[in-house]
């Protein structure tokens, strides 16, 4: 079974600084997708970024980028120029390829932004 591990229960960063959240996963599949979701106090699950396993290029969305190391099964999220609105729980998630697959989530990392 696939597993996703986030080893940092909590992280904090100064506003305007850069922070990296870690995620590792375990799978024997070659076709899969990885995601980072953000859950602010409003509890809405918001997609931050998505990476297809077949793509070598790391995904980027504005201030958010990933470091996808396929051989090491590592998928970290880098947030640049941290803003107060980035404070939230961040979840790493894995999805197998193929139709109608579930998301497997990590335990989450609570990110605090210090003004």
Partner 1 sequence: DTAVSQTPKYLVTQMGNDKSIKCEQNLGHDTMYWYKQDSKKFLKIMFSYNNKELIINETVPNRFSPKSPDKAHLNLHINSLELGDSAVYFCASSQEASRETQYFGPGTRLLVL
Residues lying near partner 1 in the complex (CB under 8 A) = 33, 35, 37, 39, 42-47, 50, 89, 91, 95, 97, 99-105, 107-108
Strands 46-52 and 104-105: unpaired
Contact criterion met (CB below 8 Å) for 53 and 34: yes
Which is closer to partner 1, CB of 18 or CB of 99?
99
For the bound state, the minimum distance from the C-beta of residue 39 to partner 1, rounded and expressed in Å, comes to 8
Question: Using CA atoms, how far apart are residues 92 and 48, in angstroms rounded to an integer?
Answer: 10
Residue 85 — φ and ψ, nearest 5°?
-70, -5
Which is closer to partner 1, CB of 3 or CB of 14?
3
8-state DSSP, 81: S
Which is closer to partner 1, CB of 18 or CB of 107?
107
For the bound state, the minimum distance from the C-beta of residue 87 to partner 1, rounded and expressed in Å, comes to 15
Tokens 């470091």 appear where? 67
For the bound state, the minimum distance from the C-beta of residue 65 to partner 1, rounded and expressed in Å, comes to 17
Cβ neighbour number for residue 41 with a 10 Å cutoff: 8
For the bound state, the minimum distance from the C-beta of residue 37 to partner 1, rounded and expressed in Å, comes to 8
Which is closer to partner 1, CB of 12 or CB of 14?
12
């Amino acid at each position: 079974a696939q597993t996703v591990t986030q080893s940092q229960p909590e992280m904090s960063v100064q506003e305007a600084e850069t922070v990296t959240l870690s995620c590792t996963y375990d799978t024997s599949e070659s076709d899969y997708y990885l995601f980072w979701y953000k859950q602010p106090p409003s509890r809405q699950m918001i997609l931050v970024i998505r990476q297809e396993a077949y793509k070598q290029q790391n995904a980027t969305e504005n201030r958010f980028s990933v470091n996808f190391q396929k051989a090491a099964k590592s998928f970290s999220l880098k947030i640049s120029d941290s803003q107060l609105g980035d404070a939230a729980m961040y979840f790493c998630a894995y999805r197998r390829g193929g139709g109608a697959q579930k998301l497997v989530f990590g335990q989450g990392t609570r990110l605090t932004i210090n003004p």
